[in-house]
Amino acid sequence: MSSPVKTVTPIPPVAKRANRQRPLFLTGVLLGAVAEQVVLFALPLLIFQKTNDVALLGLAYAIEWLPALLAYPFAGLIADRDGGPRLFSVVTAGRSVVLILALAGCLLLSDWQTPILMSCGALLALLLAPVHMAIEKVVPQVATGKDLPKTQGLVQSMEVSAMAVGPALALLGVMFFDKIMLLGVAAAVFMAAACCWLPIPRGPRAAKPGTARETMAELGLGWKLLARSKPLVLLAGLNFSINLVFGTALSANAALVTDVFDGPESAFALLNVSIGVVGLVNLLAIPFLLRFFDVRVIGVVGLAILCACLVVLGFAPSLLIYGPAFVVSMVGVTYFNVYNRTQRIRVIAPEHLGKVMGPFYMINLLAAPLGGLLLAGLGTSLGPQSLIAISAIALSGVAAVLLPLTMRSFHRALNGQTTSSR
């Protein structure tokens, strides 16, 4: 009796292309994030050590993000028209050029170093908008179905893992040359990231309208689609609350570690490296966890961890407690963002993804400059750590109300899609 013939299901051409493109996509994301972490290590330290002013550090953080907010709706529209990959490569190469010019300016005009660095941070943040939009646009191109949450988890974990590689690279660099030269290192890594995405096809693109009125109509459509989506509105509100508190903590981090807790620069670097190492562990853990737990469970656990750690940051008596809490808080961010990134893509039509995600990002990241302004306005009178404590307690209350409402709304929206497709 002959044995039954095993049938092998062929891999669809789309899936084959996605499998080939995914390594280049992820490598570009990782290198871009590493370069960004080198910059985030260097700029706050250079500014704070030059001025020794906590308020100016908060103001610099706010100035970095304010121009970027206005760029996000336009960046989303450009991503829809471009397809994503070419936009990422061009803009990431542009960030490299900005750093090279800033390095030259600081070396030639040392008295103008602080305004040059603040302007450099603002330009880099402005160019971050199209980078984020390009990544959002290309993720569904390289991952579909069950691979979508896994790929979103990998993207998030690589961004966190860069916190190990970036500061470690920066710390290694300052052993051999001045911190200002880290701008050149970051420029080289940005250029490598831009090259990674060059072979990725541009994917589906929206038609290019011919008039300014049509362009403004498309921008308006993105805002309308966002406003009509209850789950996205609730998620944007929740993200805004998280980013406001976490932005305050991030903008104060350099001052807390090196001034309040009197830690050396190496402690500041080690803190960021530890975050990245944990990110590397999550890189392996998240796909494993998704086999056993729904993405909603991972989101709830992540937000609970984040809120608890932020409260600890606000009351930590020493760097020995502050450091581990800061590291674990990034674990919470990573887990929550797997839920955040996965769910929002599922309720947006692919042809409108960039148009909707531009305003969505704009609302979310409005919290970043506000966090910096909070530090600039209240950091001196209250103290940066007390400000974090008050904000963290408020966030815990907001999250307890908004998270259940958000999850229920997404559940209804996704069930409605399933019903209508049958």
Q: Which of 95-104, 144-153, 192-201, 302-311 has the lowest mean pLDDT?
A: 144-153
Q: Does residue 65 surpass a pLDDT of 80? A: no
Please tell me the distance from the alpha carbon of residue 155 to that of residue 279, in angstroms, as a whole number: 11
The mean pLDDT value of the chain amounts to 78
For residue range 114-125, list pLDDT tens digits in order. Answer: 788 878 888 888
Beta-carbon neighbour count of residue 265 at 10 Å?
17
With cut-offs at 50, 70 and 90, classify the pLDDT of residue 189: very high
Span 254-259, average pLDDT: 71
If one compares 190 and 381, the residue with the highest pLDDT of the two is 190
pLDDT of residue 195: 92
pLDDT of residue 340: 87
| Structure token pair of residue 11 | 């891999």
Is residue 99 within 8 A of residue 184, CB to CB? The reply is yes
Please tell me the distance from the alpha carbon of residue 100 to that of residue 183, in angstroms, as a whole number: 7
Span 104-111, average pLDDT: 84
Q: Does residue 62 surpass a pLDDT of 60? A: yes
Residue by residue, DSSP assigns 227-293 as: HH-HHHHHHHHHHHHHHHHHHHHHHHHHHIIIIIS---HHHHHHHHHHHHHHHHHHHHHHHHHHHHS
* Percent with pLDDT over 90 in the chain: 10
Query: Which of 38, 51, 49, 57 minimizes the C-alpha distance to 269?
Result: 38
Please tell me the distance from the alpha carbon of residue 58 to that of residue 380, in angstroms, as a whole number: 10
Please tell me the distance from the alpha carbon of residue 91 to that of residue 133, in angstroms, as a whole number: 11
Residue with tokens 């693109």: 205
Q: How far is CA 93 from CA 5, 96, 111, 133, 153, in A?
A: 53, 5, 28, 16, 26
For residue range 28-56, list pLDDT tens digits in order. Answer: 888 998 898 888 777 777 776 666 665 66
Please tell me the distance from the alpha carbon of residue 330 to that of residue 350, in angstroms, as a whole number: 30
Q: Does residue 9 surpass a pLDDT of 60? A: no
Q: Does residue 417 surpass a pLDDT of 80? A: no
Helices 319-346, 265-292: crossing angle, 10 deg rounding: 40
Q: Does residue 251 surpass a pLDDT of 60? A: yes
Q: Which secondary-structure segment (H or E) carries 226?
A: helix 212-228
pLDDT of residue 234: 92
